[in-house]
């Protein structure tokens, strides 16, 4: 850097519902946070919870132009807060995983020639010229089931695809998304010179050229070999034909790579230092791992989706791969991996129960949970307003009586039972699958770190501690993905300061731990939850059977 100012590091998080900007100092302390909520701040786009439901069943997208306008707005808020943008030494970030952005053949020229007198969202500046599709398919999209089946058939079934890529074919994954675009919108696919993930779309704006895709987020595409971290030609051909290799760009790059310096548009428009480094952005889940994890930690993200994450260090034997979970490449550690369970119905499903059965009041919701014993007086409920990922493709509400130790499907349960029912079923689904995720003879979890919007709810914290039988911690900031993005920015700068050497753990070793213990398990309650796992599994099996009949 040519400035003597103490360096700052900017991380973004482009999630489903909002765009956040997090700025940290050299000691990793958070010095500023700003956010733009899509529905509230940009209502003209007509989104619901940041998304647009399309005419085809399961089709869910977000307007790319809305994201451009959100970046303009969040930068205005950062600047108005008095942040000295010339002190930003590096930029990275996170984004919702799996979403895809389709650049036109004019995109590179448009990015390279951005006019500093015009905002990103100024009509005709980038959009619509630079984009072959105005809306980006996002992680909630489930309109491409046929493409998932076709991809699995091409490689010999779901287990073989899981062995190759770390996951079976899922509707939200980018490979099947691309396949559907190619099949149903061939003109748009032909006009697409490059295809980005949402996470590589963002650094492209800062670089003034289309950025490569980062390794960890690439492993959520069904297009990359999970062990070599290279694109697989068979998968590329199956999803996009021989031209897809050129469209996805160069081989994926690891986090902390220096992609280049910030483009002149940002220097002239916002006052960034021309030496500011741009690093790869990753997915929101890997960024959360970067922000919060240490070996032996479990991370439970309670945001729009509910996600369990576990870092697996490098080992001589590759981790097991299961069709009911995901294995991702680690963003900063070569040969390490992240095991993941991801559920589409997270916070939005919990909020629907709060609104319907607790008068739109979290305090009443918590009181109903606290006044109901473990096991919910023999009632269990499953709530899938969106087609679920685990178990796959179930949708609807399913209620059971378990009073005799066996599930009996019922039409209704007492209204006051629903708040505990949704928490117990969501968490028991995770608990019932943890053993299969872990490598043989792996040590027990040391702690459970929770993040996301629901992590501030003490009733949910305590239920998680008891059900998982782990101490529960929360981080200084609940914006873990954005903080992880800022740390990835710092990592790229730190490595450059050290001649390109050093690990993320070495960089982070001197940072003060910013975790607070918020709940401890009660042994007798944890034992009762252990006894519910088999009952839960029987109910889930019944739900799957009911959905298959429909």
**Cβ neighbours of residue 126 under 8 Å, at least 6 residues apart?**
68, 110, 111, 114, 120
Pick among 3.90.1150.10, 3.30.420.40, 2.60.40.1220, 3.30.1540.20: CATH of 8-286: 3.30.420.40
C-alpha dihedral sign at 495, 498, 500, 506? negative
Rounded CA-CA distance 346/341 in Å is 12
Cite the residue boundaries of each domain of the chain with CATH code 3.30.420.40.
Answer: 8-286, 287-345+445-521, 347-433+524-548
Tokens describing residue 169: 């074919």
- Beta-strand runs (E) in 231-354: 260-261, 277-278, 282-283, 297-302, 306-312, 326-329, 337-343
Do 281 and 95 meet the contact criterion of CB atoms below 8 Å apart? yes
What pLDDT sits at residue 342? 86
Class of domain 347-433+524-548: alpha beta
Q: Which helix (H) or strand (E) holds 492?
A: helix 480-497
What pLDDT sits at residue 198? 98
β partners of residue 447? 297
pLDDT (tens digit, 0 to 9) for every residue of the chain, 550 residues total? Answer: 444 789 999 999 999 999 999 999 999 999 999 999 999 999 999 999 999 999 989 999 999 999 999 999 999 999 999 999 999 999 999 999 999 999 999 999 999 999 999 999 999 999 999 999 999 999 999 999 999 999 999 999 999 999 999 999 999 899 999 999 999 999 999 999 999 999 999 999 999 999 999 999 999 999 999 999 999 999 999 999 999 999 999 999 999 999 999 999 999 999 999 999 999 999 998 998 888 876 668 889 898 889 898 887 777 777 778 777 889 999 998 888 888 898 989 999 999 999 999 999 999 999 999 999 999 999 999 999 999 989 988 999 999 999 888 899 999 999 999 999 999 999 999 999 887 776 666 667 778 999 888 889 999 999 999 999 999 998 766 678 899 999 999 999 999 999 888 888 888 875 545 788 999 999 999 999 999 999 999 999 999 999 987 6
C-alpha radius of gyration, the chain, whole number: 23
At CA 132, angle to CA 127 and CA 138, rounded to 5? Answer: 90
- The label of the residue with tokens 């799957």 reads 544
**Cβ neighbours of residue 477 under 8 Å, at least 6 residues apart?**
22, 30, 33, 483, 514
Do 1 and 273 meet the contact criterion of CB atoms below 8 Å apart? yes
Name the residue among 9, 14, 12 with its Cα closest to residue 31: 9
What pLDDT sits at residue 305? 85
What pLDDT sits at residue 442? 66
Query: pLDDT per residue over 209-242, tens digit each?
Result: 999 999 999 999 999 999 999 999 999 999 999 9
Q: Which helix (H) or strand (E) holds 186?
A: helix 186-191
Which architecture characterizes domain 287-345+445-521 according to CATH?
2-Layer Sandwich (3.30)
Q: Is 245 left (phi over 0), alpha (psi -120 to 50) or beta?
A: alpha
Do 93 and 200 meet the contact criterion of CB atoms below 8 Å apart? no
């Amino acid at each position: 850097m040519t400035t003597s100012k103490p360096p700052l590091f900017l991380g973004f998080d482009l999630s489903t519902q909002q765009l956040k900007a997090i700025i940290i100092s050299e000691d990793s302390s958070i010095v500023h946070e700003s956010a733009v909520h899509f529905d509230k701040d940009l209502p003209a786009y007509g989104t619901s919870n940041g998304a647009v439901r399309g005419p085809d069943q399961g089709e869910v997208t977000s307007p790319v132009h809305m994201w451009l306008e959100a970046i303009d707005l969040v930068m205005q808020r950062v600047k108005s807060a008095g942040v000295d943008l010339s002190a930003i030494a590096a930029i990275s970030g996170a984004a919702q995983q799996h979403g895809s952005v389709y650049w036109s053949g004019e995109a590179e020229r448009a990015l390279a020639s951005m006019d500093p007198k015009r905002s990103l969202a100024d009509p005709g500046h980038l959009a619509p010229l630079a984009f072959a599709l105005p809306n980006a398919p996002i992680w909630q999209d489930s309109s491409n089931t046929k493409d998932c089946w076709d991809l699995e058939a091409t490689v010999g079934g779901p287990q073989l695809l899981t062995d190759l890529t770390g996951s079976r074919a899922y509707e939200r994954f980018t490979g099947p998304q691309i396949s559907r675009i190619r099949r149903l919108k061939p003109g748009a696919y032909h006009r697409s010179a490059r295809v980005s993930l949402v996470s590589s779309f963002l650094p492209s704006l800062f670089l003034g050229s289309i950025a490569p895709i980062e390794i960890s987020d690439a492993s959520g595409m069904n297009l990359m070999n999970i062990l070599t971290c290279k694109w697989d030609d068979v998968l590329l051909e199956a999803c996009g034909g021989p031209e897809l290799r050129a469209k996805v760009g160069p081989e994926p790059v690891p986090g902390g790579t220096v992609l280049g310096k910030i483009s002149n548009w940002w220097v002239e428009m916002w006052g960034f230092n021309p030496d500011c480094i741009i690093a790869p952005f990753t997915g929101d889940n890997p960024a959360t791992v970067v922000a919060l994890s240490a070996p032996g930690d479990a991370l439970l993200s309670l945001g729009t989706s509910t996600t369990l994450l576990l870092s697996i260090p490098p080992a001589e034997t590759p981790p097991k791969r299961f069709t009911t979970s995901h294995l991702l490449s680690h963003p900063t550690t070569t040969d390490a991996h992240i095991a993941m369970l991801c559920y589409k119905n997270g916070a939005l499903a919990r909020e629907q129960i709060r609104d319907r059965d607790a008068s739109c009041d979290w305090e009443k919701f918590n009181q109903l949970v606290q006044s109901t014993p473990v096991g919910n007086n023999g009632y269990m409920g499953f709530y899938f307003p969106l087609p679920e990922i685990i178990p796959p493709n179930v949708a609807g509400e399913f209620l059971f009586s378990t009073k005799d130790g066996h599930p009996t499907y019922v039409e209704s349960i007492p209204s006051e039972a629903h708040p505990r029912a949704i928490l117990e079923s969501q968490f028991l689904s995770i608990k019932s699958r943890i053993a299969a995720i872990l490598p043989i003879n792996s040590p027990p979890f040391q702690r459970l770190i929770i993040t996301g919007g629901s992590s501030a709810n003490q009733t949910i914290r305590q239920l998680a501690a008891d059900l998982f039988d782990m101490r529960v911690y929360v981080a200084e900031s609940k914006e873990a993905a954005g903080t992880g993005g800022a740390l990835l920015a710092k990592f790229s700068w730190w490595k450059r300061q050290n001649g390109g050497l050093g690990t993320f753990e070495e960089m982070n070793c001197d940072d003060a731990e910013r975790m607070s213990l918020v709940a401890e398990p009660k042994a007798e309650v944890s034992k009762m939850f252990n006894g519910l796992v088999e009952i839960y599994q029987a109910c889930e099996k019944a739900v799957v059977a009911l959905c298959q009949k429909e």
